Amino acid sequence: MFELSPAEWTAVLLSLRIAIVATICALPFGIAVGWLLARKEFWGKIIVDGIVYLPLVLPPVVTGYLLLISFGRKGPIGAFLADYFGIVLSFRWTGAALSCGVMGFPLLVRPIRLALEAIDRRLEDAASTLGANPLLVFLTITLPLALPGIIAGMVMCFARALGEFGATITFVSNIPGETQTISAAIYTLLQIPGGETPAGRLVVIAIAIALAALIASEWFARRAGMRFQGE
Amino acid sequence: MLAVNAEKRLGTFALAARFQAAGGVTALFGPSGAGKTTIVTMIAGLLAPDRGSIALDDTVLFDAAAGVNVPPYRRRIGCVFQEGRLFPHLSVRQNLDYGRRMSGHPRDTRHFAGIIELLDIGHLLNRRPRMLSGGERQRVAIGRALLMRPRLLLLDEPLASLDAARKHEILPYLVRLRDEAHVPMVYVSHTAAELRQIATNVVRLDAGRVTAIGGVELLD
């Protein structure tokens, strides 16, 4: 009854792989940008702020197109990566991870930034009087205190990456086994006669993954929050 | 010997303080807004004076003219703040151990046990800061500052957030600390009665200026 065909399995596993890689690779950048926006005043901050949130408001197709002209084989960044590092993103699953990471980035940064802004800076001062240099203060005080926000951001980014469609299909197309995610597979199946049943199976899988991610994040956030409340 | 000669302007408030403090407990005494907290914040290295110098024994911590400003994490000056500032994500034991871990010193169980005993906080080690009373929290904060083996201990209104009963609970520990720990202390307070019990010498401040330097008789 509910049995996935090998092609459907491929799409599910590929989606998970793309979403996980996108979230993990975006995380260090998300923490860095969140920290910059929360803690530093600099000229052009409002522009950086705007660029970070741009993927949230731009039509995804536009973001995908911008990725294509900059990260495609003939694009400036894409050509550089291919020539010097042998990294090709266009029409590969790695490119899908890039577009998913870009689309999820605003959702990743926002909770991290809010968490960093909420931290009592005087705790960091106290840590520095106890002999912790700025890097140690960041690692032992700032990051652990921001952990609930970091988890929330990762879940949002992961969910966005899992559901990403427009930017990905524009940038890396819809190649089964390489760039065809659950969303793209559902879309393809709905274009052909008799595709509703396999599409329905993928829809159920998508709902299950999304629910599991939400429950996991709730659990993590509660655990992280509990550490501040006491035993 | 602590030698402070510092000027700082913060908005409309101007501070110009000059005093020296030998061993024992030096009280910085004056009404709120006199600049007491500004002074200890500068001694700790969390705020740079505009002009002047701060030296502890033969170490120059700050000298505007020479461009010296030792960062707080290299000063080895322990701080006890009014609100305790315990790290909420760490247990009491981890809070106490934080200074030693950050400076990479080996574990010293005898020193640890001695401080725990002095402050009577052995039964709190596995708790989180949230689960402590105000008095317990301040005792842990004092222990945390002592366990980093400070060359100087700064106490900024350490009892101000406590009610009268809790104050009387902590004061005897501070007196023991003065008599047994042999760490020079700078103690900020606006309460003469509290300082009378603990201070050995007094620097009186008003509106950003030192108005008198002397013994506990200045508290009357």
A167 pLDDT band, cuts 50/70/90, is: very high
Min Cα–Cα distance to chain A from B72, Å: 5
Residue B145, pLDDT above cutoff 70: yes
Work out the average pLDDT over B170-185. 87
Chain B residues in contact with A227 by the CB 8 A cut-off are 88-89, 128
Percentage of chain B with pLDDT > 90? Answer: 65
Tell me the residue ranges of DSSP E strands in A118-195.
Answer: none
Look at the alpha carbons of A210, A216, A219, A220 in this order and tell me if their dihedral is positive or negative: negative
Which of B31-40, B71-80, B157-166: highest mean pLDDT? B71-80
Chain B residues in contact with A140 by the CB 8 A cut-off are 98, 102
Host domain of residue A51: 13-229
A227 pLDDT band, cuts 50/70/90, is: low
Nearest CA to A147 out of A203, A75, A223 is that of A223
Nearest CA to B28 out of B58, B64, B2, B10 is that of B2
Residue B72, pLDDT above cutoff 90: yes
pLDDT in tens, A50-64: 999 999 999 999 999
For chain A, say whether B27 makes contact (Cβ under 8 Å): no
pLDDT in tens, B120-139: 899 999 999 999 988 899 99
Q: Which of B128, B144, B147 to mutate to test the interface with A (most CBs of A within 10 A)?
A: B128
Chain B residues in contact with A129 by the CB 8 A cut-off are 44-46, 72-73, 75, 77-79, 145
Residue A32's CATH number: 1.10.3720.10
For chain A, say whether B81 makes contact (Cβ under 8 Å): yes
Asked if residue A178 belongs to a domain, the reply is yes
Asked if residue A67 belongs to a domain, the reply is yes
Asked if residue A5 belongs to a domain, the reply is no
Asked if residue A2 belongs to a domain, the reply is no
A226 pLDDT band, cuts 50/70/90, is: low
Per-domain boundaries in chain B: 2-87+151-219
A66 pLDDT band, cuts 50/70/90, is: very high
Residue A230, pLDDT above cutoff 60: no
- Put simply, the answer to whether B98 touches A129 (Cβ < 8 Å) is no
Residue B176 has what pLDDT?
87
Look at the alpha carbons of B196, B199, B202, B205 in this order and tell me if their dihedral is positive or negative: negative
For chain B, say whether A144 makes contact (Cβ under 8 Å): yes
Min Cα–Cα distance to chain B from A211, Å: 29
Asked if residue A4 belongs to a domain, the reply is no
A231 pLDDT band, cuts 50/70/90, is: very low
Asked if B158 contacts B80 with a C-beta cutoff of 8 angstroms, the reply is yes
* Distance separating alpha carbons of residues B204 and A171, to the nearest angstrom: 71
Asked if A109 contacts A103 with a C-beta cutoff of 8 angstroms, the reply is no
Residue A140 has what pLDDT?
95
Asked if residue A61 belongs to a domain, the reply is yes
- Put simply, the answer to whether B89 touches A136 (Cβ < 8 Å) is no
Asked if residue A8 belongs to a domain, the reply is no
As for how many domains chain A has, the answer is 1
Chain A residues in contact with B145 by the CB 8 A cut-off are 129-130
Work out the average pLDDT over A199-218. 88
Work out the average pLDDT over A122-146. 95
Residue with tokens 């010997």: B1
> Class for domain B2-87+151-219, per CATH?
alpha beta
Residue A225 has what pLDDT?
67
Asked if residue A6 belongs to a domain, the reply is no
> B96 vs A83, which has greater pLDDT?
B96
B143 pLDDT band, cuts 50/70/90, is: very high
pTM over 0.95: no
Nearest CA to A173 out of A90, A78, A88, A94 is that of A90
